[in-house]
């Protein structure tokens, strides 16, 4: 799909009044190559989004984007969207000293949310150049809360990573649950193996919100010794704790979790099935499509949509057959996404299956099918493409179909 069409489709999806369409648009962003334009578009949409599920999908999409240090620095300096600048600051913090110059410049950002992320990122960088600027911010930042945050960041730079981890481990015993949650989150980002056992203990009992934070931190930590505990929690817990355990297993991508995730595909709770599909896609075990295909008949549209996205991600060759089957899904979002993914997989065998979608009742499906047929160079579709262009009532759709038809020789 060309960049212009991709951005048009993304914009249409993020503006759709149906929350499911907006979630799907964010999921497409998460699975597509990251661009600064997409980050800005997602950030602009999130600034006006009130639906919690949709916001979660948008934040997840941002979390999966991977831009270069130069691209992040440019976003941090030039983006008109505070959410995009804050995300860029957070991402730069993972790159260590190489992103520090851009972060130091952004300490004057007018948005408190951006400055807070900048201070945290400088703390993670450990670069001594940040020490004096952070000390000044601890005195001069207009926000009392941010002055404290800058002071803590300066202390983190001064004391170094070993002391930071020890301090966060100590905070796991803090009487305030909010402090324990924050400690779990920081330990997860730190990636220090010493945090594994304390986080396992924190995940096993006590305040449910602290347990949830500890479970998610175990997924971020990257220590595969946590997998047995996470599979136990996924099997024996319910609600948010179960969802957190499945999300953590998805982050770890350990094939030893596949039997547990396979069982959860048959759970009565739709959210559990949906998250288990996602986790299997990120784990990508051999012959995973065999596990996923039955859920293309799931009664819940969200689960079927997740299967379509999973089929686009996994490496199992049978994914093409699964996506072709999804072209007949009752949901236009599933049909459109399956058509788009077949193009990204360069599946020439899909051409014949895509031609009927040029007569689909949904414009997003028609455009996705047309774009994929164009990407594949499927000349056998030229006549149908020309007919579809003649039928199109929307000028933008007609122009796109005309362009693709001409490229195919129609």
pLDDT at residue 164, as a whole number:
66
User: Is the model's pLDDT at 10 over the cut of 60?
Assistant: no
The 3-state secondary structure of the chain reads CCHHHHHHHHHHHHCCCCHHHHHHHHHHHHHCCCCHHHHHHHHHHHHCCCCHHHHHHHHHHHHHCCCCHHHHHHHHHHCCCHHHHHHHHHHHHHHHHHHHHHHHHHHHCCCHHHHHHHHHHHHHHCCHHHHHHHHHHHHHCCCHHHHHHHHHHHHHHHHCHHHHHHHHHHHCCCCCHHHHHHHHHHHHHHCCHHHHHHHHHHHHCCCHHHHHHHHHHHHHHCCHHHHHHHHHHHHHCCHHHHHHHHHHHHHHCCHHHHHHHHHHCCCCCHHHHHHHHHHHHHHCCCCHHHHHHHHHHCCCHHHHHHHHHHHHHCCCCCHHHHHHHHCCCCCHHHHHHHHHHHHHCCCHHHHHHHHHHHHCCCHHHHHHHHHHHHHHCCHHHHHHHHHHHHHCCCHHHHHHHHHHHHHHCC
Rounded mean pLDDT, 110-125: 92
pLDDT at residue 54, as a whole number:
80
| pTM of the model as a whole | 0.68
Q: 330-333: long-range contacts (C-beta < 8 A, 24 or more apart)? A: 330/301, 331/301, 331/304, 331/305, 332/360, 332/361, 332/362, 332/364, 332/365, 333/20, 333/21, 333/24, 333/301, 333/305, 333/364
pLDDT at residue 9, as a whole number:
47
Domain covering 160-285 assigned CATH 3.40.50.300 in the classification: no
> pLDDT (tens digit, 9 = 90+) per residue, 80-93?
999 999 999 988 88
User: Is the model's pLDDT at 7 over the cut of 80?
Assistant: no
> pLDDT (tens digit, 9 = 90+) per residue, 232-274?
999 999 999 999 999 999 999 899 999 999 999 999 999 999 9
Structural domain spans, the chain: 160-285
Provide the mean pLDDT of the chain.
Answer: 88
Rounded mean pLDDT, 41-59: 81
Tokens of 140: 């001069």
Is residue 242 within 8 Å of 276, Cβ to Cβ?
no
pLDDT at residue 19, as a whole number:
83
pLDDT at residue 4, as a whole number:
43
Rounded mean pLDDT, 336-359: 87
Lowest mean pLDDT among 12-26, 236-250, 355-369: 12-26
Rounded mean pLDDT, 99-114: 94
User: Is the model's pLDDT at 162 over the cut of 70?
Assistant: no
> pLDDT (tens digit, 9 = 90+) per residue, 258-314?
999 999 999 999 999 999 999 999 999 999 999 999 999 999 999 999 999 999 999
pLDDT at residue 409, as a whole number:
84
Query: What percent of the chain clears pLDDT 90, i.e. is strictly above it?
Result: 58
User: Is the model's pLDDT at 404 over the cut of 70?
Assistant: yes
pLDDT at residue 1, as a whole number:
44
């Amino acid at each position: 799909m060309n960049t212009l069409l991709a951005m048009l489709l993304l914009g249409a999806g993020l503006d759709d009044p149906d929350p499911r369409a907006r979630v799907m648009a964010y999921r497409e962003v998460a699975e597509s190559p990251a661009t600064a334009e997409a980050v800005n578009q997602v950030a602009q949409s999130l600034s006006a989004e009130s639906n919690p599920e949709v916001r979660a999908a948008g934040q997840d999409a941002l979390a999966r984007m991977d831009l270069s240090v130069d691209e992040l620095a440019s976003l941090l300096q030039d983006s008109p969207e505070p959410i995009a600048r804050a995300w860029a600051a957070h991402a730069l913090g993972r790159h260590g000293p190489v992103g520090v110059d851009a972060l130091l410049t952004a300490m004057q950002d007018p948005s408190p949310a951006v400055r807070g992320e900048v201070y945290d990122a400088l703390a993670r960088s450990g670069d001594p150049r940040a020490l004096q600027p952070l000390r000044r911010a601890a005195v001069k930042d207009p926000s009392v809360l941010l002055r404290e945050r800058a002071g803590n960041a300066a202390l983190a730079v001064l004391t170094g990573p070993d002391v930071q981890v020890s301090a966060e481990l100590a905070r796991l015993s803090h009487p305030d649950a909010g402090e324990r949650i924050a400690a779990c989150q920081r330990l997860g980002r730190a990636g220090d193996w010493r945090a594994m056992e304390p986080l396992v203990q924190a995940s096993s009992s006590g305040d449910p919100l602290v347990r949830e934070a500890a479970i998610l931190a175990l997924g971020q930590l990257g220590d595969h010794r946590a997998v047995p505990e996470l599979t136990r929690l996924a099997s024996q817990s319910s609600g948010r704790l179960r969802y957190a355990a499945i999300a953590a297993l998805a982050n770890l991508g350990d094939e030893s979790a596949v039997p547990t995730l396979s069982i959860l595909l048959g759970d009565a709770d739709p959210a559990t099935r949906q998250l288990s599909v996602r986790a299997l896609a990120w784990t990508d075990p051999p012959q995973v499509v065999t596990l996923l295909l039955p859920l293309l008949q799931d009664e819940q549209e969200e689960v079927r949509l997740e299967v379509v996205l999973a089929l686009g991600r996994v490496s199992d060759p049978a994914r093409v057959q699964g996506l072709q089957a999804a072209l007949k899904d009752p949901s236009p979002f599933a049909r459109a996404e399956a058509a788009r993914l077949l193009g990204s997989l360069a599946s020439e065998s899909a051409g014949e299956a895509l031609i009927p979608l040029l007569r689909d009742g949904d414009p997003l499906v028609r455009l996705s099918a047309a774009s994929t047929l164009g990407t594949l160079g499927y000349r056998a579709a030229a006549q149908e493409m020309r007919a579809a262009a003649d039928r199109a009532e929307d000028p933008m759709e007609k122009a796109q179909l005309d362009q693709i038809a001409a490229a195919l020789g129609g």
